[in-house]
Every structure is written in structure tokens, then in C-alpha cells.
A and B are shown apart, each in its own frame.
Chain A
Amino acid sequence: AQSVTQPDIHITVSEGASLELRCNYSYGATPYLFWYVQSPGQGLQLLLKYFSGDTLVQGIKGFEAEFKRSQSSFNLRKPSVHWSDAAEYFCAVGGGGSNYKLTFGKGTLLTVNP
């Protein structure tokens, strides 16, 4: 069964500081990996995705993530956080084939201090 672990429930950073959100997954084959962001009262927006190829993927809003197969990780990074980045971030794994579903982590709530 596929699963996703986001070890950090809540992270607080100062504006301008760097950010790394952790994600570990469990899946029996090559996974499709995603990071989504959710602002209060909103749906989820796709930040970036990894299907295959280059293990460092770039997304929207200056985010990037690195797939490390040996560590079963897909951590999200941003070099300089903006106050507008405050939101909840979800890592997800998709199984492909006839799975047709995403399994999400519990999310990491990001607070940005001025």
C-alpha cells in the first residue's frame, strides 16, 4: 500500500529565510510524486510534480523539490520565503496504472513571520 509521511506538522520561518519541507513516501514501484499547496478556505493547487527523469524538479512560485529514491524522499525547498507562502503544504504519491488516486500526507502548516 502506498503512504506518505510529512514529519513536520507546523513550521515557522522568517520572511526571507530558506525553507525545506520534508516528505517520505512508501510505494512498491516508481512513484509519481506531487506537492500541493492549500490556502485557507481554498482548494489545492499543484506546485510541482515528479514523474521521471531529472530528480530535481522546478515548480511554480520559486519552489523546487528533489527526488531521492534511496531515501524515499521528495523534499520541497525554497531559497527565500515570502509572507504570501504561508499556507498548508501537502505531499502526495500517485500509483499510476489503474490506481487513479493520490495518497496524501497529513500536511505541513507553514507560518511566515515578518
Chain B
Amino acid sequence: KAGVTQTPRYLIKTRGQQVTLSCSPISGHRSVSWYQQTPGQGLQFLFEYFSETQRNKGNFPGRFSGRQFSNSRSEMNVSTLELGDSALYLCASSPPGLADTGELFFGEGSRLTVL
């Protein structure tokens, strides 16, 4: 069974640009979560989606948004990039019955560098 797939793995943007990151969950998983990982703040929850509905959102500005499609694939978008948005963005999925426990299966992440 394929794991969580994130694309692109690495990308470089400049301040003011926007970026879209993609995540394909494990087959059969309908819950998709996004986390930002930085050396200073650690792992921080961005949002969680289930059946195309956002069920929870972390404490991030409105520049961070996401969506989920009917096939459970998810995208997150960051607009008007700032230097502080440089981070590893991790996507994770949960199987039916475990989404509400928090058990997550992570992808390898998309490393965003903002210059």
C-alpha cells in the first residue's frame, strides 16, 4: 500500500509569491491533516479535512488555506509568502475510526524556502 505522497518535495519561492502544496493520502484514508515544522516553533497544526470539510484549524493567519477534493487528495496554499513561512510542511492521513484519536500517517513533507 502506498504511503502518503507529498509534492513537490522541495521548492524555493520569493517573498510575496504564493505556493500550493499537494498531498495524496493513503488509499482509504479520508482524513487529511497538515502541520508546519520549523526549528523554532516545532510542529504546529494547520488544519484537518474530512470528506471535503475542514473540521479544525490551527492558529495561523488567513494566508494559509487548504482544501480537500472528493478523492480525499488535499492541497494547501500559502499566499503572500513571508520569510517566516520557510518550513517543512507535513501532510498526514488517518484511517476510518482513528481520525478522532489523532493517530496519523505522515508523508515525507514539502520543504519550502522563502527568499
Contact = CB atoms under 8 A, between A and B. Distances in A.
Q: Do A and B bind each other?
A: yes
A74 interface: no
Given A90-B43, A100-B31, A100-B56, A43 B106 contact: yes
B55, B90, B99, B102, most chain A CB atoms within 10 A = B102
B43, B48, B90, B100, most chain A CB atoms within 10 A = B43
A82 interface: no
Contacts of A43: 4, 90, 92, 106-109
B106 A100 contact: no
B102 A95 contact: yes
A89 interface: no
B70 interface: no
Nearest to B42: A106
A100 B55 contact: yes
Contacts of A93: 102
Interface string B53-66: 00110100000000
A100 B100 contact: yes
A90 B99 CA distance: 19
Contact of A99 (B4, B42, B102): B102
A45 B105 CA distance: 7
A96 interface: yes
B104 to A, nearest CB: 6
28 contacts: A32-B101, A32-B103, A34-B103, A42-B109, A43-B4, A43-B90, A44-B90, A45-B106, A92-B43, A93-B102, A94-B101, A96-B101, A97-B100, A98-B100, A99-B100, A99-B102, A100-B31, A100-B50, A100-B55, A100-B99, A101-B33, A101-B56, A101-B102, A102-B45, A104-B42, A104-B43, A106-B42, A107-B42
